[in-house]
Structure 1
Amino acid sequence: MKENSSSSDIRTVLIVGGGVAGLTAAAALGARGITVDVIDLKKGAEGSGLGIQNRGVDALDAVGALDDVVAAGAAHKKAPLRFYDSEGTLVFDPSPPPREDGKPSYIIVYRPLLAQILTARAKSAGVSVRIGLSISSLTQHEDRVEVDFTDGTSGSYDLVVGADGLRSSVRSIVFGDEVKPVSTGTISLRWVPRGIARIGEAGFYYGDDTEMVVIPMHDDMTYVSVQHPDDRKLNDHEARLLLRKKLSQFSVPLLTELHRNLAEDEHVLVRRYESLLVPSPWHRGRVVLIGDAAHATTAHLGSGGVMALEDAVVLAEELAAPGTVESRLDAFERRRFERCRTVVETSVQLSDMQKAGANATEMGAARGPAMEVLAQSY
């Protein structure tokens, strides 16, 4: 059921970007009676896993998607993120106790399934989702934003939300070259194999020069992720060779099973880790940035997706409050900036520590303060 919006001056919203941030914002705004268009160049999401912890779970609940994500993913009452050495001996356990409200503390879900769920939630709230489309120009007026699309059509909106990721077209058009992503000097290798025997614990495994994240997922899938201090582009063969080298550092049965199953036809996703934090304010007039368009970093806190979910829900909450558009966007950024900065800066710190050879205990201790912040309500 749609709620009545108290923000009568924001009746139409364009969201550029149909990822986690964009679709969640669309669902939240649509549920408040706002007419929302979402556009994206591509449909769906890459075939990897996304861990959702801390208050990301509450954000899913706020848009009515939690039950569907729990059903589609692997949910845990206690986060399965303990730290082990190369032989599988437990070194450090930072996991908080289970939540008192009965919600899962941690969910891992296949990204394409999450995209399907969020798209369905958005469409059920009356949102229009158009694929194969982006923006070519934005012209701001006091009471609206005129938009030209790449297919030659145009539109007029009360607000434009840039949720189009690290290479945001919206940020480039509105903010220019004020902020650009900066390489962290690292890449991530991510692999989601099927049929791996469940013969070990999920968590962080530390080898000679490697922090390996291994988490069993749903539907017989396992999520594997590792960082490497080199940001050059790798082809599929090079990525498999590097992942095999990383896995060979471990004698843990689960990781040796992964090593044995890394065949030549397996696809390993390679991503350059870049860092970005747009200084406040994240808006110019009636255009605002959320998600990776405003803040992006490495995956060392496992909170990039969580920040996108939180951004979306908080934006919808603040737009429904009384006040001018400017004051409501300011309120959104006050709730988000320091929290997102904690994630960006701590993640880069952890990446640097890992490159310098920090052990499991040191890495866990450095994560602790940020995880305490993220456990608090957004």
Structure 2
Amino acid sequence: MKTMMAGLLTVLVISTHTASAQKKSGAADLVHFPKGCSPKEVGKRVAARFVASPHANFGRPAPPSRINYPEVCTWYGALAFARESGDKALTQQLATRFEPLFTTESKLVPVPDHVDYTVFGSVPLELYMQTKDARYLEMGQRFADKQWGPPEGPRVKPESQGFYDRGLTWQTRMWIDDMFMITAVQSQAYRATGNVEYINRAAREMVVYLDSLQQPNGLFYHAPDVPYFWGRGDGWMAAGMSELLRSLPKDNPNRERIMKGYKIMMASLLKYQASDGMWRQLIDDPESWPETSGTGMFTFAMITGVKNGWLDAATYGPAARKAWMALVTYIDEHADVREVCEGTNKKNDRQYYLDRSRITGDMHGQAPVLWCAAALLR
């Protein structure tokens, strides 16, 4: 009888441990998702929405005078998703959208004299890698090279020459947004050409931003004179470090410093993730509202970290999965993402951030959903 009871107890303990392990494994699963929540399904819907959308103009009804950076980020995300999902038809649709920029819509191509305009180069560079059409490479390289060329044009500021003389881009502003805008195009130029100088540039720049702007808790103020951790602002840093690190050679002398900054930030974000999986408009403010663009960027950063082995999968896998599952609930029947903070300038006023308009379908929110879908498939 004692032997039988001991055997039953052993089976019970093993079963309990197995169930617990399976539960934990499921919570960290970044491969299998319920119907309607898989990266292929979600990415396809959001990418199709982008293909059908006109060129965006920050919510204004009039067409834009140039392609703006939220559209660039969404275009790049749709192309990344097309690559990772093997959807060549989508790649062709995205190339067809680009074709008029060589001819009838050439005036919409930005002048690469500002980080928000130079990031445009990441799209033709991705198109080159997927199609091998040399026109895309020439255009994309021109943008990446201009960013590290000598200061020129009406946007040159008194400090621009000083940054250039230090081996940084003259477009340096010390705004946290820059660390996606700069690293995206330079990393893409490296991926397209194999020329390591492109990504070395971005790494040197990233270290300067980390040393200058990262706070002890790993997060970033919206500006030195605005001590608030605004979600999307920090999202640009999280996504920028992730984009850089996934291609930065392991022998790069700045890799360790950048990885340290990335991991400190991820640990802090883990602490501030809300119980529903979202992050808030002001990251550390529990009275702030759940915001989707920042959440999408943080989710992308965590997925990328887990997939590449930089982050402990048992710790960060559940957070990344929970965030993705939460984010999907904010996509409406038109494949538009809700609760996206409107374009936001800095202001040393908490209420200013809490009162920002919450937009549906803004490309600031569409883009990171596509980045996440691609990262989950990568």
Same fold by TM-score, threshold 0.5 exceeded? no
Calculate the TM-score normalised by the size of structure 1.
Answer: 0.24
Calculate the TM-score normalised by the size of structure 2.
Answer: 0.24
Between Structure 1 and Structure 2, which shows a larger proportion of helix residues? 2
Task: Determine which structure has more spread, i.e. the larger CA radius of gyration.
Answer: 2
